[in-house]
Structure 1
Amino acid sequence: MRVLFVAHGPAHVPWTVPLAWAAQLAGHDVRVAAREQSLTQVLDAGLIAVPIGTATAGDVFIRRATPHSGERPAHLPADWPSGPLGWSEERRLHWSDQVLGLADSLADDLVEYARHWRPDLVVHDVGAVVGLVAAAAVGVPAVAHNWCQPIGLYFLHEQQVPPAYLRLFERFGATPRIGTDTWIDCTPPALHTPHPVPRIPMRYVPYNGPGQLPAWLRHAPARRRVCVTGGITTSTIDDLGTRLLEEADGVDADFVLAVNRPEAFDDRKLPPNVTLTGRVPLTALLTTCHALVQHGGAGSTMTALAHGIPQIVVPDGTDTPSSLYGVQIEQAGAGIHLRPEDRRHPGALAAALTRLLEGDAYARRARDIRDEIAAMPSPAQVMAQLEAHARSPRPTTPVNP
């Protein structure tokens, strides 16, 4: 069987890798279509990449805020597209317009390749709607892969569909995909939110890219170790790292400031309990840590949970995907959501860290969620389900809703 994966941004590619490798190990032929910005992540994972779009295709995602004003449906239900907790309607519409604009810029390349290669199944990131278009153009089923958030562009009823979405399919003589598709979902039960799209649960397997294991990670830390990271595609670490350097002295722990650009802190004086390091695979580093402080990224959040590590989420705003992870982690009892209004107070990060480390409640809940993740179906088991799904182009009944 030929399986075409369609990636989104660089930070999303790691979510695709375990399932893509499960497909390869099951004997299937795998390709991963990706924009120029994401090709390195695909190649580093040892997968075959198919470049789509141009170097400016990523600009479309940022630039096209409301490209189809006046074309939205008269009726917009609260879950169109799925409204993340705390997202305003304007934020949702802004995001969906961007996603449609990006799909429009990639569709010609992806459909051309799909018609050439003839995949049997398309697995696409929920932010890569162009995967649905390519699947429809060659008449094969598509399955979306989400990133542990109730976010994704989907239309269950015709009155919800904007003309821009229809035009994406009509351009290639394809029937628009409207109705219940299936999503692969790594969300553990503790973070699960109601959602109208049926989902196939899959265990989150931490993959944070390749990297070398530094010698100092081979030894157990002398005292509690806390990792601080800002992910791979945000500048949040600049503010987060600055706050850490100001408050670390007040916390009884050692800190590892793991950043992609350590040179950004070259002119800063490090407290004695802070070690600045370049990029280290997070899954290797967290096995030696007692806590994580992070920006609210999908990979950071779930990697910590997969290792049973409590965390502090410091998002860059209140109306962003990163803030949703903070809400989910706090509600699940596995960590602390440090909101922008909380961070105005001097010493707020140090106080939150002390609270997280002093008791066992957060760590205990994180370990409970780790056990939930471990009990979920593996990527290999999910691949077996997808093989059956490929033989049934449009399932009429939910699969593990």
Structure 2
Amino acid sequence: MRVLFTTAPLAGHLFPLVPLAWALRAAGHDVLVTTRENFVPAALRSGLPAAACGPAAEFTDLVDGEPPPLPDGMIGQRYVHGRALARMASGSLAGVGKLARSWRPDLIVSERAEFAGPLTATALGIPWVQHHWSVSDLREYRYAAAMELAPELERLGICGLPEPVRILDPWPTCLRRAHAADHHGVRHVAAHGDAALPDWLFERRGRPRICVTLGTLLPRYGATGTPGYMMDLVDELAGLDAELLIAVDDDIAARWPRLPSAVRHAGRLPLADVLPTCDAVVTHGGQGTALTAVAAGRPQVVMPHLDDQFDNAEALSAAGVAVLVPPSRATPGTVSAGCAELLGNPAYTKAATRLAEDVALMPAPSAAVALFERLPTAARTAGGA
């Protein structure tokens, strides 16, 4: 079986697909990742074959304008970001179609914010599976994509955005919302590309350890990731007499001023190996970071800023594994106080341990291979034609 993976050129969108792709390879199937040209190296660093489906494109360059009047309950920021992702898909559609016709996949797997893969699959009669990151339904993304991709849908003769044959969901059932009731669970397995494991990680220590990470996008996109804010946050956290790790891209850390001695490391880190050694985690509520902390059984201080991060943070807070700090209150002092609460109240760690046990019982990515193999063969034959 040949499986084509499609993703927007964002680390948080690619990395959840990597364990699935490797599970398929381990079972003897052929896989190929396609994304924009500038992000192909990131896919290659995960050890997967990758091909470009369009020229270089940055998500932040496509985010502009104000949303039109939206249906009740929709959030403007999410619509604007969904529109940017749809524009990304519009520029990828021809490349994905050309690749699918030449490589002839039996199945297409797309992360939920990548729309060129689903349109190509539907046009060619190939079954497709969606990887559903976050607890949010993000209906604004689909609404924006339907508006932005209307000309492409008409040209392809497709009525509305297509639905997948299966939806894979890495969030434990107890944290999901009603729209995800029929999703197929797949255990979150973290992927970090070529982030190195530091040799000091497992040394004995006498102080609590706190890891601070705001993901790969926010430090380049929002005020919370600026050097000034991060230096103030580090100063506040240092008052807890804790060892601090700051997980951030190396080029971002290189532009920061000299950090105090409380900071053991600032730069890229493989969180799946790092977080089990920590006592608390400061996160932005992004899918990869939040679920890696959940799988490690570590409590979190979550300060969401974008889109689904708010819903993720609310779910974690309701489960008793996180202190939620909304943007209006996300001062360094408030975040530090949240960490002190996690370190001083064992109830958070106990709840995080129980949730980690639930995650460990979810089907591994290898279990999804059998699910893929059972998909309708008639649809595969149409795709091959």
Q: Where on the TM-score scale, by shorter chain, does this alignment land: which range?
A: 0.7 to 0.9
The 1:254/1:322 distance shift into structure 2, 3 A limit, reads same
- Structure 1: distance between partners of 2:12 and 2:112: 13
Q: What is the TM-score normalised by the length of structure 2?
A: 0.87
Task: Report the RMSD for the aligned CA atoms in angstroms.
Answer: 2.9
Identify the residue that residue 247 of structure 1 maps to in structure 2: 236
Identify the residue that residue 338 of structure 1 maps to in structure 2: 325
Tell me the alpha carbon deviations over residues 7-63 of structure 1, each in whole angstroms, 9 at most, x when there is no partner: 122221110100000111111110001112421221011101010111246466424
Tell me the alpha carbon deviations over residues 118-156 of structure 1, each in whole angstroms, 9 at most, x when there is no partner: 111000010001111110122111111121332456999
Q: CA contact under 8 A between 1:145 and 1:185: conserved in structure 2? A: yes
> Which stretch of the first structure deviates more once superposed, 103-112 or 335-344?
335-344
Give 5+ residue unaligned stretches, structure 1: 79-87, 395-401
Greater helix share, structure number: 2
The 1:392/1:377 distance shift into structure 2, 3 A limit, reads farther
The 1:182/1:392 distance shift into structure 2, 3 A limit, reads farther
Tell me the alpha carbon deviations over residues 138-193 of structure 1, each in whole angstroms, 9 at most, x when there is no partner: 2111111121332456999xx99946544323434566554564311001123211
Q: CA contact under 8 A between 2:213 and 2:247: conserved in structure 1? A: yes
Offset of 1:241 from its aligned partner?
Answer: 2.3
Q: CA contact under 8 A between 1:229 and 1:257: conserved in structure 2? A: yes
Q: CA contact under 8 A between 1:103 and 1:130: conserved in structure 2? A: yes
1:306 matched to 2:295: yes
Give 5+ residue unaligned stretches, structure 2: 381-385
Q: What is the TM-score normalised by the length of structure 1?
A: 0.84
**Could you tell me which of 178, 201, 221 is aligned with 1:194?**
178
- Structure 2: distance between partners of 1:170 and 1:315: 37
SS of equivalent to 1:50: strand
> Which stretch of the first structure deviates more once superposed, 162-171 or 20-29?
162-171
Q: CA contact under 8 A between 2:130 and 2:164: conserved in structure 1? A: no
- Structure 1: distance between partners of 2:243 and 2:124: 54
Identify the residue that residue 219 of structure 1 maps to in structure 2: 203
Identify the residue that residue 268 of structure 2 maps to in structure 1: 279
1:146 matched to 2:126: no
Tell me the alpha carbon deviations over residues 294-318 of structure 1, each in whole angstroms, 9 at most, x when there is no partner: 22222111111111011111223xx
Q: CA contact under 8 A between 1:4 and 1:119: conserved in structure 2? A: yes
- Structure 2: distance between partners of 1:313 and 1:274: 20
> Which stretch of the first structure deviates more once superposed, 228-237 or 279-288?
228-237
Identify the residue that residue 217 of structure 2 maps to in structure 1: 233
Identify the residue that residue 365 of structure 2 maps to in structure 1: 379
Identify the residue that residue 105 of structure 2 maps to in structure 1: 119
**Could you tell me which of 332, 352, 361 is aligned with 2:347?**
361
- Structure 2: distance between partners of 1:297 and 1:343: 16
Q: CA contact under 8 A between 1:126 and 1:153: conserved in structure 2? A: no
Offset of 1:385 from its aligned partner?
Answer: 0.7
1:263 matched to 2:254: yes
The 1:296/1:252 distance shift into structure 2, 3 A limit, reads same
Identify the residue that residue 316 of structure 2 maps to in structure 1: 329
Offset of 1:343 from its aligned partner?
Answer: 2.9
The 1:139/1:33 distance shift into structure 2, 3 A limit, reads same
- Corresponding residue pairs, total: 372
Q: CA contact under 8 A between 1:137 and 1:169: conserved in structure 2? A: no
The 1:342/1:58 distance shift into structure 2, 3 A limit, reads closer
Identify the residue that residue 383 of structure 2 maps to in structure 1: none
Q: CA contact under 8 A between 1:42 and 1:48: conserved in structure 2? A: yes
| Alignment map for 1:341-352 (pairs within 5 Å) | 341-344=328-331, 347-352=333-338
Identify the residue that residue 50 of structure 2 maps to in structure 1: 49
The 1:358/1:35 distance shift into structure 2, 3 A limit, reads same
State percent identity of aligned pairs: 30
Q: CA contact under 8 A between 1:312 and 1:337: conserved in structure 2? A: yes
Q: CA contact under 8 A between 1:217 and 1:288: conserved in structure 2? A: yes
The 1:380/1:7 distance shift into structure 2, 3 A limit, reads same
- Which residue type is aligned with residue 116 of structure 1? S
- Structure 1: distance between partners of 2:336 and 2:48: 42
Q: CA contact under 8 A between 1:228 and 1:241: conserved in structure 2? A: no
- Which residue type is aligned with residue 229 of structure 1? T
Q: CA contact under 8 A between 1:64 and 1:98: conserved in structure 2? A: no
Identify the residue that residue 399 of structure 1 maps to in structure 2: none
Identify the residue that residue 5 of structure 1 maps to in structure 2: 5
SS of equivalent to 1:12: helix
- Which residue type is aligned with residue 28 of structure 1? H
Q: CA contact under 8 A between 2:79 and 2:140: conserved in structure 1? A: no
Identify the residue that residue 33 of structure 1 maps to in structure 2: 34
Offset of 1:3 from its aligned partner?
Answer: 0.4
Identify the residue that residue 183 of structure 1 maps to in structure 2: 167
| Alignment map for 1:149-188 (pairs within 5 Å) | 149-151=135-137, 162=146, 164-172=148-156, 178=162, 181-188=165-172
Q: CA contact under 8 A between 1:126 and 1:152: conserved in structure 2? A: no
Identify the residue that residue 85 of structure 1 maps to in structure 2: none
